[in-house]
Structure 1
Amino acid sequence: MTDPERLRRYWETTGAGHTFTHPLDAGLLARYVSPDARVLDYGCGYGRLTARLAALGWSRVRGVDVSAALVARGRAEHPGLALEHVAEPPLPYPDGAFDAALLFAVLTCVPGERDQDRTLAELARLLRPGGVLYLSDVPLQDDEEHRARYRAARPWAEVYGTFRIPDGGVFRHQDPARLRERLGALGFEVAEEHRDPVPTLDGRTVTRLQLVARRGPDRP
């Protein structure tokens, strides 16, 4: 099993110094989300994408992250951005407070099944009915190098697809079918899906999965 306290320390120390590389497709977002929408960048890190959205004209963007060190770095690098440290869900916002949310390479940093479920459920709560979730993450990779990394983690990992990088960071690649199932159970309907190659923070290239999903109406 992965030690939650060890994970927390990683993102307050070594992990807080990483340069993130997971790219945003602004055109894809613009097809679903207007510039005046209330947008939450969940797991914003040091505000890289929050800042890009603001520069592109999205005027009501807020970023949140569980790492106090990353949020402090973001405030120093991007003065004036709305960046907030929230140690864990629930966030201090009412139900349906946002029109859209970004979840970019966040689940890969949350290897535990329960913690992933809490993250997705919190986004379902925070998005209004009809709101848009733009999720981009790394699915299970098929090459032998990645399969070897997954196998090496089997003695201690909760879920297949988990692995450790040399600096101590623990990450998890997603089972796409399981991810779609979890979104569906929370009332999301996938509207668009894409795959493309992207760089990783440890200098590799992987295929990513982008999902744009709409939150359904509240159930009676």
Structure 2
Amino acid sequence: MNHNHAQLCASPEWAAHLQDNVLPKAIAQARLGKELLEVGPGPGAATEWLRTRVERLVAVEIDAKAASLLAERYAGTNVEIRQGSGASLEFPGDSFDSAAAFTMLHHVPTVALQNRLLSEVLRVLRPGGVLVGADSLPSHALHQFHEGDTYNPVEPASFLVRLQTLGYVDITLGVSDGLTFSAHKPASTGDAFPTE
């Protein structure tokens, strides 16, 4: 991340914006269950809010420094921090009731890698589990803000097709000042869309 972007994402104002405006809208009617996987928490702006809604939260952060800071911050709580990639999760299948990806998908450098991450999340969700998240809509201003950063925005229309193709069902996308989404792992294998 460039300096300005890192400062914004770690600011109390950004955390307040996420917690007051984005998270409630994205979670809305979703049942998070007891165990939630958060992918790409960065500085943890969503983590604090999410952890109060589940018994156990496991966050996977690719950046070693950010993961270390989060591990220190959440030591002795219901949050476990793992340093690693969301595209290659080190959990058995059917491990989590829910998963969350907030304002991080546009930092994943390619559509193929985004799809790999989404596929891994689907694998580790329990049957009927839900992925919830939000991301920014593509814009010239956002592209400029990410100067020197990875910026691979998510297009809502193609994102819906990608989620369906990967096997998610009961998908809801909301588009206003940003993109919110929820998508479920089929409760049984017969509920999935065919991937061929």
Q: 1:30 to 1:37 in 2, by over 3 A?
A: farther
Unaligned runs of 5+ in 1: 1-9, 151-162, 197-206
* 1:122 CA displacement: 0.7
Report the CA distance between 1:189 and its aligned residue.
2.2
Cα gap change, 1:28/1:180 in structure 2, threshold over 3 Å: closer, same or farther?
A: closer
Distance across 1 between alignment mates of 2:25 and 2:86: 31
SS in 2 for 1:124: helix
The residue aligned with 1:218 is 189
Corresponding residue number in structure 1 for 2:27: 29
TM-score, with length taken from structure 2: 0.77
Change over 3 Å in CA distance of 1:166–1:57 after alignment to 2: closer
SS in 2 for 1:82: strand
Runs of 4+ in 1 over 4 A off after TM superposition: 13-18
SS in 2 for 1:180: helix
Distance 1:194 1:89, change over 3 A: closer
State the 1:57 CA deviation: 3.7
Greater mean deviation of Cα atoms: 116-125 or 23-32 = 23-32
Indicate conservation of the 8 Å contact 2:26/2:181, yes or no: no
TM-score calculated relative to the size of structure 1: 0.70
When structure 1 is superposed on structure 2, of 95-104 and 44-53 the one drifting more is: 44-53
Contact 2:25 2:180 in 1 (8 A): no
Separation in structure 2 between the aligned mates of residue 82 and residue 33 of structure 1, nearest angstrom: 20
Following TM superposition, by how much is the alpha carbon of 1:104 offset from its aligned partner in structure 2, in angstroms?
A: 0.9
Structure 2 gap segments, 5+ residues each = none
Q: Partner amino acid for 2:136?
A: V
Inter-CA distance 177–76: structure 2 relative to 1 (3 Å threshold): same
Q: 1:72 to 1:174 in 2, by over 3 A?
A: same
**8 Å CA contact retained: 1:16, 1:69:** no
- From the two aligned structures, give the one with the greater helix fraction: 2
Larger radius of gyration: 1
Q: Distance in 1 between matches of 2:146 and 2:24?
A: 32
Match of 2:88 in 1: 90
Match of 2:41?
Answer: 44
Deviation at 1:171, TM superposition (A): 1.2
| Post-superposition offset of 1:100 | 0.6
Deviates more, 1:130-139 or 1:44-53: 44-53
